[in-house]
Amino acid sequence: MTKPVAKWLLVATMIVGFSAAGRTQAIDAGKTAYLSSCAPCHGEDARGNGVLSPVLKVPPADLTTLARRNDGVFPIAAVNEIIDGRTLIAAHGTREMPIWGFDVMVRSRMAEIIDYLNRIQRK
What domains lie within the chain, and their CATH numbers? 28-119 (1.10.760)
Cα 115 to Cα 123: distance, rounded to the nearest angstrom:
16
pLDDT of residue 7: 52
pLDDT of residue 11: 47
pLDDT of residue 34: 94
User: Helix (H) and strand (E) counts for the chain?
Assistant: 5, 0
Q: What is the dihedral angle through the alpha carbons of 6, 12, 13, 18, rounded to the nearest 10 degrees?
A: 150
Please, what sign has the CA dihedral across residues 65, 111, 87, 35?
positive
Within 13 A of 46's CA, how many CA atoms are on the CB side? 21
Instruction: Report residues of the chain scoring pLDDT below 50.
Output: 10-11, 18-22
Q: What is the pLDDT of residues 72-90, one digit of tens each?
A: 999 999 999 888 778 877 7
Distance of CA 22 to CAs 27, 48, 69, 98, Å?
10, 33, 39, 31
Sorted by sequence, the CB contacts under 8 Å of residue 60 that are 6+ apart come out as: 41, 42, 43, 48, 49, 50, 53, 91
